[in-house]
């Protein structure tokens, strides 16, 4: 597999199996459309991504279309940014899972995207459809084939359907599901964008027809958090995000319960409880999961109070997805304690000593025992400094030039 790398301040962004891209000669606004998320869901990522687009194309107008509740959540994260216009749209009303597709949803996506294109007098230079839905992908592809602008389609963890393999037996459902969208739609003017190199490479390994059609940038890091002086004891270790099995919370519960009586450690979870764990005992937790979604400022305040972030992810889900909670740890300069996965290895290879990479659950427990017995403040400070340097390589400014090359290819394609 051929991989061509474009370097900017130590950060790699490239197309798997494609040549370097020239800059764009088109003129007009770049439009980013959020077709899936409401309220604060994905707001931190969308804010950092919009900042990346703005810095990649400083001479262009950037327009962001989203549900009104999502706009309300994202505006405070972009306070003081110039050159960005906000527009409200109406999302598909049934709030079905993002991997659900139907002909009605496709028609709704086409109508929405055409309306947005017309609102910009048909002069959109490129449209970035942040949807993650097969219906959104088909709608964007059809609209582009009807004379619309080049399209870019950022994808997240939904691409795990390539590995899971299940598909409906209904032929009408199969021709519009995510498998079909990824099989037939990507091309020079309809680009797939994923976050992290390992995700792009894993996609091409699972779906060889995507070679040359999948672009990637490192996951943009959000705004850095102010450092907070912490006492050496107890060592505060916590998991982040929604407490569910996909993020390894079942393993974290077992670990915390087993080490509940070990002095010198405090165990936390910063985030909400998933319904699958409601009613289960939270033995050993100083700060267990919350019953409701945390406000962003509360989430960040609790994150800042940790010494280490634990990432107990098992399985292969994050081989095809970037971890937003891990990027929260990067933004906060918090070292990590993680199980060895392909995704985690790439972070350690980039940044050096940023915590502890464990082979299995037993080693994770041993690392925690060692921290309780011999916490080294000097090493922790070095690990935190490495995390902050990693964040600097993932700022919107650092990613601007590589991203400009990626989107320019689609804007120049015929």
Neighbour count for residue 96 (Cβ, 10 Å): 13
The pLDDT value recorded for residue 97 is: 60
Place of tokens 């037939």: 184
Q: List the Cα angle 365/304/398 in 5-degree steps.
A: 100
Q: How confident is residue 165, by pLDDT bands cut at 50, 70 and 90?
A: low
Residue with tokens 């996909």: 246
User: pLDDT tens-digit profile of 239-251?
Assistant: 998 898 888 899 9
Of 5-14, 131-140, 268-277, the least confident: 5-14
pLDDT of residue 402: 95
Q: Are 368 and 23 in contact (CB under 8 A)?
A: no
Bridge partners, residue 217, by sequence: 195
pLDDT band per the 50, 70, 90 thresholds, residue 1 = very low
Within 10 angstroms of residue 212's Cβ, the number of other Cβ atoms is 17
For residue 259, give Cα distances in angstroms to 265, 368, 371: 9, 8, 12
292-350 pLDDT tens trace: 888 888 999 999 999 999 999 877 777 888 887 888 899 899 999 999 988 888 889 98
User: What fold does the segment set 3-219+396-412 form as a domain?
Assistant: Rossmann fold (3.40.50)
Nearest 5°: phi and psi at 186?
A: -60, 145
Of the listed ranges 70-74, 128-132, 177-181, 313-317, the least confidently predicted one is 313-317
pLDDT of residue 10: 35
Reduce the DSSP state of residue 285 to 3 states and report it.
Answer: strand
- What whole-number distance in Å separates Cα of residue 181 and Cα of residue 383? 42
For residue 132, what are the contacts with CB-CB under 8 A and spacing of at least 6?
36, 98, 154, 155, 156, 158
Polymer length of the chain: 414
Numbers of helices and strands, H then E, in the chain: 15, 15
Residues of the chain with CATH 3.40.50.2000: 3-219+396-412, 235-392
Output the pLDDT for position 23.
Answer: 36
Tens digit of each residue's pLDDT (9 = 90 or more) over 107-119: 999 999 999 999 9
Q: What is the rounded CA–CA span in Å between residue 126 and residue 40?
A: 25
The pLDDT of residue 346 is 85
Residue 25 is predicted with a pLDDT of: 42
Average pLDDT over residues 209-226: 89
In percent, the amount of the chain with pLDDT more than 70 equals 92
- Backbone φ and ψ for 205, nearest 5 degrees, come out as -65, -40
Q: What is the pLDDT of residue 163?
A: 79
* Dihedral sign of CA atoms 234, 237, 243, 246 in order: negative
Q: How is the beta sheet containing 285-287 ordered, strand by strand?
A: 285-287, 265-270, 235-240, 308-311, 336-339, 355-358
3-class SS of residue 397: helix
Residues ≥6 apart with Cβ < 8 Å to 165: none
Residues forming a β-bridge with 238: 268, 309
Of 136, 145, 143, 127, nearest to 109 by C-alpha is: 136
Q: What is the pLDDT of residue 414?
A: 63
Per-residue pLDDT reduced to its tens digit, 168-197: 889 999 999 988 999 999 988 999 999 999
pLDDT at residue 96, rounded to an integer: 60
Place of tokens 């498998």: 179
pLDDT digits (tens, 9 = 90+) for 5-37: 333 333 334 444 443 333 344 467 999 999 989
Least confident of 92-96, 127-131, 202-206: 92-96
The per-residue pLDDT for 200 is 92
So what CATH class is 235-392?
A: alpha beta
Report how far residue 102's alpha carbon sits from residue 110's, in angstroms, rounded to the nearest whole number: 13
């Amino acid at each position: 597999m051929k991989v061509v790398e474009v370097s900017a301040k130590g950060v790699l962004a490239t197309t798997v199996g494609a040549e370097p891209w020239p800059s764009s000669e088109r003129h007009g606004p770049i439009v980013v459309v959020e077709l899936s998320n409401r309220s604060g869901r994905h707001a931190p990522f969308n804010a950092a991504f919009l900042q990346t687009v703005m810095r990649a194309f400083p001479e262009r107008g950037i327009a962001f279309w989203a549900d009104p509740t999502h706009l309300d959540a994202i505006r405070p994260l972009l306070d003081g940014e110039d050159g960005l216009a906000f527009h409200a749209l109406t999302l598909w009303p049934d709030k079905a899972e993002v991997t659900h597709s139907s002909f009605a949803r496709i028609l709704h996506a086409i109508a929405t995207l055409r309306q947005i294109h017309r609102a910009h007098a048909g002069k959109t230079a490129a449209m970035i459809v942040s949807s993650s839905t097969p219906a959104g992908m088909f709608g964007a592809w059809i609209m582009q084939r009807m004379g619309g602008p080049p399209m870019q389609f950022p994808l997240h963890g939904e691409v795990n359907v390539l590995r899971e393999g299940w598909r409906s037996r209904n032929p009408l459902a199969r021709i519009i599901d995510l498998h079909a969208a990824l099989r037939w739609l990507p091309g020079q003017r309809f680009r797939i964008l994923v976050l992290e190199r390992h995700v792009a490479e894993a996609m091409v390994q699972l779906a060889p027809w995507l070679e040359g059609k999948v672009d990637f940038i490192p996951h943009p890091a959000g705004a850095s958090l102010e450092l907070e002086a912490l006492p050496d004891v107890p060592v505060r270790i916590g998991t982040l995000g929604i407490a569910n099995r996909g993020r390894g919370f079942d393993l974290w519960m077992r670990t915390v319960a087993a080490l509940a009586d070990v002095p010198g450690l405090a165990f936390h979870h910063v985030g909400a409880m998933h319904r699958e764990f409601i009613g289960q005992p939270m033995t050993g937790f100083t700060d267990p999961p919350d019953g409701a979604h945390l406000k962003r400022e509360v989430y960040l305040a609790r994150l800042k109070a940790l010494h280490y972030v634990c990432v107990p992810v098992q399985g292969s889900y994050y081989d095809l997805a970037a971890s937003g909670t891990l990027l929260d740890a990067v933004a906060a300069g918090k070292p990590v304690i993680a199980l060895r996965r392909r995704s985690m290895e790439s972070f350690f290879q980039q940044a050096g000593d940023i915590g502890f990479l464990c082979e299995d659950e037993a080693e994770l427990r041993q690392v925690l025992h060692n921290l309780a017995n011999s916490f080294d403040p000097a090493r922790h400070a070095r690990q935190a400094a490495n995390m902050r340097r990693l964040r600097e390589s993932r700022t919107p400014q650092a990613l601007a030039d590589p991203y400009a090359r990626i989107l320019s290819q689609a804007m120049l394609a015929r």
